[in-house]
Amino acid sequence: MIADLFNSTAIPVLEQVVNFAQTRHQILAGNLANLDTPGYRTRDLSTEKFEASLRQAIQARDQGKVRSLGSPAAQLNPFTSVRNNLESIVRHDDANVGLEQQIMEIAKNQMQHDLAMTMMNNQLQLLGAAISERA
């Protein structure tokens, strides 16, 4: 009963967003760490694939095909699709790490993480108020 109440909120979805943002942050930080490494190619997680997987999982949950979003490995697996990112300029040493681009991606990722954490905190406060029967 409580599990159904919990899974009917946005908390499981927000949990997936936070996990994705944390994993992506580690990869983007690795790109910055290798800024001066000759021949290094940037890596990133596909936000489009993650959003599509999350959308499918939400639809499956809402249609009753899945009771909850479950673990990321079982239901959503966007973390395995690390792809090469060739959008920045290739330098003379054959690396393609651009400082400004990586900082911008980290900032966008941080904002997404912070928003998800704020929303999750609000959802947990509402759930706590409902459980304790306070308005």
For the entire predicted model, the pTM comes to 0.73
Asked if pLDDT for residue 69 goes beyond 60, the answer is no
pLDDT tens string 97-130? 678 889 999 999 999 999 999 999 999 898 888 8
Tokens of 119: 């929303």
Buried b (16+ CB within 10 A) or exposed e, 94-105: ebbbbeebbeeb
Q: Which two tokens stand for residue 73?
A: 């490995």
